[in-house]
Amino acid sequence: MIKIDNVTKVYNNLDKATEVVALSNVSMEIKSGEFVGIVGRSGCGKSTLLNIIGGLDKPTTGKVSFEDIIVSGLSECKSAEFRNNNIGFIFQAFYLDKYLTVLENITMPLLLRGVAKKDRNKLGLEILEKFGIQDKAKLFPNLLSGGEMQRVAIARALITNPKLILADEPTGNLDSSNGKIVINTLSELAKEGTTVILITHNVEDVKACDRVIGLEDGVIILDNHADEAEQQKEAVDENS
Ligand SMILES: Nc1ncnc2c1ncn2[C@@H]1O[C@H](COP(=O)(O)OP(=O)(O)OP(=O)(O)O)[C@@H](O)[C@H]1O
Ligand SMILES: [Mg+2]
């Protein structure tokens, strides 16, 4: 469903002195309904990879496709349309609109799809309740804690039932119980067929994934399916 073909991303590629190779010949395929974790040290290229999969950034070389759409070849305008139709993006830096209330922020993707206000607000309040922040609906983001902002950003990404969820450290600002709610929600969505790609530094989050990809200096150094890891473990147990 998602095919990443020999993707390399070089920042500042016009100036050798400052150029950064953020991704180097990354290839992988991700199936529908897979819950994929991406791990690796700060600066190893995780956000770069997510942004390229979501069409927010273009690879320097290589190709990314989603179903029959070549994401890496879309114009900026087509790319925004593609994201609005298919992707729920949870950004590391939230990107909430400070001039909109919590409810207006999370229902914005529905407004862009022409959903009526009454229906938008009903769905919006339901999802806020799921994450325990329904009492914040009318507030502006500057009055929220970091963890509350993070949950608003997650609610906004999930409200359209996207086919693909790209989540950049969605539990980074949450305590363990709120983190669990988020990971369980993503896990349930994956079981229902939504593809989820999750960047995380949290071991508990990784345990919930079907597959874990490790990056180091822009290169894939690990690609482990949970069932394979389980089989490998069983084989080791049997032989010992
Ligand atoms: N716009 C940019 N211009 C130049 N260099 C960049 C840019 N964005 C990222 N980089 C560099 O590319 C590399 C990969 O960055 P990226 O944001 O993908 O890392 P990351 O794995 O998400 O790190 P973190 O865990 O800290 O979020 C880093 O060395 C970073 O400094
Ligand atoms: Mg990052």
Residue 7 confidence class, pLDDT cut points 50, 70, 90: very high
Instruction: Name the closest-CA residue to atom 20, ligand 1.
Output: 43
With a cut of 70, say whether residue 169 has pLDDT above it.
Answer: yes
130-139 pLDDT tens trace: 999 999 999 9
What is the tally of structural domains in the chain? 1
With a cut of 60, say whether residue 69 has pLDDT above it.
Answer: yes
Q: For ligand 1, say whether the CB of 45 is within 6 Å of any of its atoms.
A: yes
Q: What angle do CA 199, 157, 143 make, to 5 degrees?
A: 95
Q: Closest ligand to 44 CA?
A: 1
- What's the average model confidence in pLDDT over 23-48? 97
Residue 92 confidence class, pLDDT cut points 50, 70, 90: confident
Whether 54 contacts 83, CB under 8 Å: yes
9 CA to centre of ligand 1 in angstroms: 10
Atom index in ligand 1 nearest the CA of residue 218 equals 14
- Whole-model pTM: value is 0.92
183-208 pLDDT tens trace: 999 999 999 999 999 999 998 999 99
Sign of the CA dihedral with 127 first, then 129, 132, and 134 last = positive
Q: For ligand 1, say whether the CB of 47 is within 6 Å of any of its atoms.
A: yes
Q: For ligand 1, say whether the CB of 46 is within 6 Å of any of its atoms.
A: yes
Q: For ligand 1, say whether the CB of 48 is within 6 Å of any of its atoms.
A: yes
How many whole angstroms separate alpha carbon 185 and alpha carbon 176? 14
How many whole angstroms separate alpha carbon 105 and alpha carbon 237? 50
CATH of the domain at 70: 3.40.50.300
pLDDT score at 6? 98
- The per-residue pLDDT of the chain, averaged, comes to 93
Q: Closest ligand to 46 CA?
A: 1
CA-to-CA separations, 73 to 32, 70, 108, in angstroms, rounded: 21, 5, 26
| All residues with CB under 5 Å from ion ligand 2 | 47
pLDDT score at 152? 96
Chain center to CA of 7:
18
With a cut of 70, say whether residue 167 has pLDDT above it.
Answer: yes
Q: Which two tokens stand for residue 108?
A: 């914005």
Q: Smallest Cα–Cα separation from 49: which of 238, 227, 197?
A: 197
What's the domain range around 139? 2-239
DSSP string, 50-77: HHHHTTSS--SEEEEEETTEEGGG--HH
In the block, tokens 């927010």 appear at 56
218 CA to centre of ligand 1 in angstroms: 10
Beta carbons within 10 angstroms of residue 116's beta carbon: 10
With a cut of 90, say whether residue 79 has pLDDT above it.
Answer: yes
pLDDT score at 93? 87
